[in-house]
Amino acid sequence: MRLRSEDVVEVIAGDECGERGKVLQIDRKAQRVLVEGVNRVYKHVRRTQKNPQGGRLSKEMPIRMSNVALVCPSCNAATRVGARATEDGGKERFCRKCDASIGELKPPKTSAK
């Protein structure tokens, strides 16, 4: 999947379906993404010198990459992402719904003479 950190995604499956958030971290090997404000769980923390209060800490947990879709900045809809070559020899991501460019994947080729 052609996701990057700082992309805005929408959850398309599961309990959090329909929620949007920013991608904080991507684990490509495990096929999981960490999305801001999505899949929050409570971690119970014991009292220590470092954390004298203790209690419940709310944090985000990763979800499967297949359960999120990129939100296109131009049409503001959850969409699939494609890759295409540009005229100058580079590669870019584009929205499959409105055909708008989302960002660069590979810089253009430079002619070395």
Q: What is the pLDDT of residues 42-52, one digit of tens each?
A: 999 999 999 89
Closest CA to 101 of 77, 72, 76, 78: 72
Q: Identity (one letter) of the amino acid at 51?
A: N
Confidence at residue 108, expressed as pLDDT on a 0 to 100 scale: 83
Confidence at residue 49, expressed as pLDDT on a 0 to 100 scale: 93
| % helix, strand, coil for the chain, step of 5 | 5, 45, 50
Instruction: Express each pLDDT in 59-83 by its tens digit.
Output: 999 999 999 999 999 999 999 999 9
| Domains of the chain in sequence order | 1-71 (2.30.30.30), 76-113 (no CATH)
Instruction: Express each pLDDT in 7-52 by its tens digit.
Output: 999 999 999 999 999 999 999 999 999 999 999 999 999 999 998 9
Tokens 């119970």 appear where? 44
